[in-house]
């Protein structure tokens, strides 16, 4: 397509601006984005390709060699699966695409805006999407070891609190045990299904299950924050019941979010060719990120509220209430970073440019179960007291039998 425009500057000189748009020339011009070395054969690069028309701009007579301010050009992508755009122009001397004097101003899935300080034949070169190398032996070994250790610690935490249940019975203990179960399920589904992309229906089911179980983990944090806030507000009132909040808020509300997401999207965006997770292209990922961020903000607000309550209760020396609030506060301060940060990082799991996040993600997963086991079992004074009470009860029972 050819366009021509005449204009006058300084009331004296007439200029002619000419624009030619070349469609579908990717098979004619090679995808070479560097100068060929001397003596080498002219070959196309398999790592980049044209992703839009070639735009030729020319002004006669020439204004200046270097444009200031630079010209802005917007290219619409023909292939929305390509990534890492580069604003380039065709270098006739040598026959290759160069990006000298051009830069990417902004880009998204549909278009890229370039800035160039000269006029010539412009185009966008982009790379095929490459899934991060999750098949590497090092990463797989690290993932299995870290999640395996975390799972063992979570099972141990469940076992200890289950054994000492009659001495540790409380809403906080129920929340902890529900969290352990949710994390174990998350680990199992994640390891077994995150890469099962060969069957689209199965991949959709796995993505929906991961969406649900991850939301459960965050909703359990929300329930913990509500439980802590209620402890502060009703500190001088009878014990409140959290069972219904635990069932409805932590297990049923996430299911409602997943069902609504499936209905609205008609399952599109739940899994793709790269990974069985929520699509970032369609914005479906916000069905997980949005609720997660709201939970984190709410719980940070609860932490501030509780800090004020602790300082206030110290002044009145209400020891029993203070210890109760401190227990909930300590629990949430451990829970929020340990469970929140890894799954937020998991959003970026599939991007090759952010492949290092996979290693951070795997390491933090290993810390989840270990941290919960350490603070809720090994370093928890209530668990130690409960264990001693159980031993005393067994000793007393043996003494009665011997008599």
Q: Which one has a higher pLDDT value, 140 or 215?
A: 215
Q: Which one has a higher pLDDT value, 345 or 318?
A: 345
115: its two tokens = 């800035």
- Alpha-carbon gap, residue 303 to 195, rounded angstroms: 37
Band (pLDDT 50/70/90 cuts) for residue 258 is: very high
Q: What is the DSSP letter of 211?
A: H
State whether the Cα torsion 183-185-186-190 is positive or negative. Answer: positive
Give residue 151's Cα distance to chain centre: 22
Closest CA to 227 of 215, 214, 213, 243: 243
* pLDDT reported for residue 185: 93
State whether the Cα torsion 392-393-398-399 is positive or negative. Answer: positive
254: its two tokens = 């996430």
pLDDT value at 27 more than 80: no
Band (pLDDT 50/70/90 cuts) for residue 41 is: very low
Cis upstream peptide for 61 (omega within 30°) = yes
Task: Collapse the DSSP code of 37 into the 3-class scheme (helix H, G, I; strand E, B; otherwise coil) and give the result.
Answer: coil
Highest mean pLDDT among 198-207, 218-227, 293-302, 332-341: 198-207
Crossing angle for the helix pair 381-402 and 137-163, to the nearest 10 degrees: 50
pLDDT value at 278 more than 80: yes
- Alpha-carbon gap, residue 31 to 54, rounded angstroms: 12
Give residue 378's Cα distance to chain centre: 31
Phi/psi at 231 (5° precision):
-60, -35
385: its two tokens = 């007291």
**Percentage of the chain surpassing pLDDT 90?**
16
Query: Which residues lie closer than 8 Å to 366 by C-beta, 6 or more apart?
Result: 145, 146, 147, 149, 150
Closest CA to 191 of 237, 146, 236: 146
pLDDT value at 123 more than 70: yes
* pLDDT reported for residue 43: 39
Where do runs of H (alpha helix) occur along 234-285?
243-247, 253-265
Task: Collapse the DSSP code of 148 into the 3-class scheme (helix H, G, I; strand E, B; otherwise coil) and give the result.
Answer: helix
Mean pLDDT within 103-131: 81
Q: Which one has a higher pLDDT value, 10 or 39?
A: 10
For 348-375, the DSSP string reads: GTTBGGGTHHHHHHHHHHHHHHHHHHII
Sheet holding 71-76, edge to edge: 71-76, 111-116, 102-107
Band (pLDDT 50/70/90 cuts) for residue 335 is: low
Give residue 263's Cα distance to chain centre: 23
Mean pLDDT within 113-140: 73
- Alpha-carbon gap, residue 89 to 84, rounded angstroms: 16
Domains of the chain, each with CATH number or no CATH: 2-128 (2.60.220.50), 137-395 (1.20.1070.10)
| Global model pTM greater than 0.75 | no
CA distances, 124 to each of 54, 250, 310, 329 (Å): 8, 47, 59, 53
Q: Which one has a higher pLDDT value, 111 or 8?
A: 111
* pLDDT reported for residue 360: 64
2: its two tokens = 């050819």
Q: Which one has a higher pLDDT value, 173 or 353?
A: 173
CA atoms within 13 A on the CB side of 198: 1
Q: How many CB atoms lie within 10 A of CB 110?
A: 9
Task: Collapse the DSSP code of 29 into the 3-class scheme (helix H, G, I; strand E, B; otherwise coil) and give the result.
Answer: coil
Phi/psi at 280 (5° precision):
-90, -25
């Amino acid at each position: 397509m050819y366009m021509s425009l005449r204009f006058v500057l300084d009331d004296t000189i007439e200029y002619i601006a000419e624009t030619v748009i070349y469609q579908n020339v990717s098979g004619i011009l090679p995808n070479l984005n560097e100068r060929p070395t001397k003596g080498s054969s002219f070959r196309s690069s398999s790592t980049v390709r044209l992703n839009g028309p070639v735009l030729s701009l020319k002004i006669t007579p020439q204004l200046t060699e270097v444009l200031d301010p630079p010209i802005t050009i917007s290219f619409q992508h023909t292939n929305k699966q390509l990534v890492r755009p580069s604003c380039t122009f065709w270098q006739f001397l040598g026959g290759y695409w160069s990006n000298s004097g051009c830069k990417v101003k902004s880009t998204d899935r549909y278009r890229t805006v370039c800035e160039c300080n000269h006029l010539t034949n412009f185009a966008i070169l982009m790379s095929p999407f490459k899934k991060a190398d999750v098949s590497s032996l090092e990463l797989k070994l690290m993932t299995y070891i870290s999640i395996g250790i975390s799972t063992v610690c979570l099972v141990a935490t469940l076992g200890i609190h289950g054994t000492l249940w009659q001495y540790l019975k409380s809403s906080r203990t129920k929340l902890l045990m529900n969290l352990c179960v949710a994390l174990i399920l998350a680990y199992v589904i994640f390891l077994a299904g995150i890469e099962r992309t060969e069957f689209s229906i199965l991949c959709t089911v796995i993505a929906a299950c991961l969406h649900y179980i991850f939301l459960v983990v965050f909703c359990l944090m929300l329930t913990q924050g509500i439980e802590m806030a209620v402890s502060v507000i009703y500190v001088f009132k009878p014990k409140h019941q959290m069972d219904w909040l635990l069932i409805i808020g932590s297990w049923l509300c996430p299911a409602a979010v997943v069902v609504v997401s499936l209905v609205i999207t008609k399952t599109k965006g739940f899994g793709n060719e790269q990974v069985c997770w929520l699509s970032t292209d369609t914005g479906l990922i916000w069905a997980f990120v949005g609720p997660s961020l709201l939970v984190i903000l709410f719980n940070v607000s609860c932490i501030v509220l509780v800090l004020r309550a602790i300082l206030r209760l110290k002044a009145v020396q209400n020891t029993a209430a203070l210890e109760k609030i401190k227990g909930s506060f300590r629990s949430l301060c451990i829970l929020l970073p340990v469970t929140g940060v890894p799954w937020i990082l998991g959003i970026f799991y599939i991007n090759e440019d952010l492949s290092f996040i996979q290693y951070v993600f795997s390491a933090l997963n290993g810390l989840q179960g270990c941290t919960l086991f350490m603070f809720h079992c090994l370093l928890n004074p209530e668990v130690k007291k409960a264990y001693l009470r159980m031993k005393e009860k067994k000793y007393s029972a043996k003494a009665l039998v011997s008599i």
